[in-house]
Structure formats: C-alpha cells, structure tokens
A and B are shown apart, each in its own frame.
Chain A
Amino acid sequence: EDQVTQSPEALRLQEGESSSLNCSYTVSGLRGLFWYRQDPGKGPEFLFTLYSAGEEKEKERLKATLTKKESFLHITAPKPEDSATYLCAVQGRRAGNNRKLIWGLGTSLAVNP
C-alpha cells in the first residue's frame, strides 16, 4: 500500500539553528515527490517537485533531497517567517488512479526569534 510518513510531527528551532525534516515513502514506482508549505488557515503553497533519487532542489533557505526511500527538507539558518507546516506528497506510477497524491500529515515548524 502506498504510504507517506513525515517526521517529526512538530519541531521548534531557534532562529539560525539549521535542521531537517523527513518524508519517508512507500509507493509503486515513484513519479514525483512534492513539498508544500502551509500557513495556518491557508491553502498549501507549492515548494518543490523531485523526480529521481539523487535529485536536489533549493529555494532560499530550503533544500530538498531525494533517495529511493525518503526525502529531506533541509532548512539552513531559519528565520521566524519560515514557521509553517511542511507537507510532503508522492505520486506513483500504478495503473488506474495514478493522478492521486498520497499525502503525509506534515511537520509543524516553529522558529523562535
């Protein structure tokens, strides 16, 4: 069964304290892995798509990496405005309903000034 697990559930950092969020996945042939940021009361905002193991993408203080079993979202020298819930989702290649995304429950990140 396709599955996405994110850890930790919640993370509190001091401003400038770098860390990583984890997204472990099981899927029948990965078509894409997606990272989103969600602020309270708002819709998810797209950050990155990763397609193959070894791929990396960066945006400001965020860097996403991908292996065959998991993805990491590295946050370098975070600022309070990076506080949000970060969601991970995967899309598989299984025949049939392969437009569906399998979502993790997210990591709630709080960055203290």
Chain B
Amino acid sequence: DVKVTQSSRYLVKRTGEKVFLECVQDMDHENMFWYRQDPGLGLRLIYFSYDVKMKEKGDIPEGYSVSREKKERFSLILESASTNQTSMYLCASSLWDQGTGETQYFGPGTRLLVL
C-alpha cells in the first residue's frame, strides 16, 4: 500500500512565523503535490514537483515556497505566516504514466491555525 505521511496533524502558529510542513512518501513516486483545502473552495494546488530539486507553481503559490532535496520528501514553507493561510494542507504523491495518466495518493493532512 502507498503510504504518505505528514509531519503534524495539527499546528498552531503566530502571524509572521516561518512554518515548515513536511511530507514523506514510501513508494518511490516521482511526483509530489501540496494542496490546501478550504470550505466552499475545494482543493487548490499550491506547488508540485515531478523530480528531485524540480518544482512548479500551482494555482495559488503566493506566500509559499517548497523544497525537494530527496525523492521521498517534499516540504512546504510558509515564509511569514498570515491568518489567511489558516487551512487544511494536504500532500499527495503519484506515478506518471504517459498512456493512463496518474493517480494521486494523499496524506492525512495538517490542519494549520495561524493566530
């Protein structure tokens, strides 16, 4: 079974703090993704990576950065947390197949509260 783990289930941070969210997958997947999920807005893609040290902006990258130094680990960084970044953060990983696309497998999520 694919396993995607996230470093924290719940986090409480202060405005202006630097926040690190860690994600690890154990299936040697090439692709990794960071989403945030908010009521009424659904899942929105922040950043994704299709190889080590590679990153691509998603739909809402502002205020975030990412790091992928190893294939199994993808980190999301909030450089200076703001209250509008209070959300559920979800990490996913997948394998890409040219013919059939890909299936994304999700971690349990990190619920972040910024005060």
Contact = CB atoms under 8 A, between A and B. Distances in A.
Interface of A: 31-32, 34, 36, 41-46, 49, 51, 87, 89, 91, 97, 99-101, 103-106
Contacts of A32: 100-103
Contact of A43 (B42, B50, B107): B107
Contacts of A31: 100-101
B100 A41 contact: no
A91 B33 CA distance: 15
A25 to B, nearest CB: 14
Given A43-B90, A43-B107, A46-B105, A99 B42 contact: no
Contacts of A100: 45, 48, 58
Given A43-B108, A44-B90, A87-B43, 8 more contacts: A32-B101, A32-B102, A32-B103, A45-B106, A49-B101, A99-B31, A101-B104, A104-B42
Interface of B: 4, 31, 40-43, 45, 48, 50, 56, 58, 90, 92, 96, 100-109, 111
B42 A91 contact: no
30 contacts: A32-B100, A32-B103, A34-B104, A36-B106, A42-B108, A43-B90, A43-B92, A43-B106, A43-B107, A43-B108, A44-B43, A44-B106, A46-B103, A46-B105, A46-B106, A49-B100, A49-B103, A51-B100, A87-B43, A89-B43, A91-B102, A97-B56, A99-B48, A99-B96, A99-B102, A100-B48, A100-B58, A103-B42, A105-B40, A106-B42
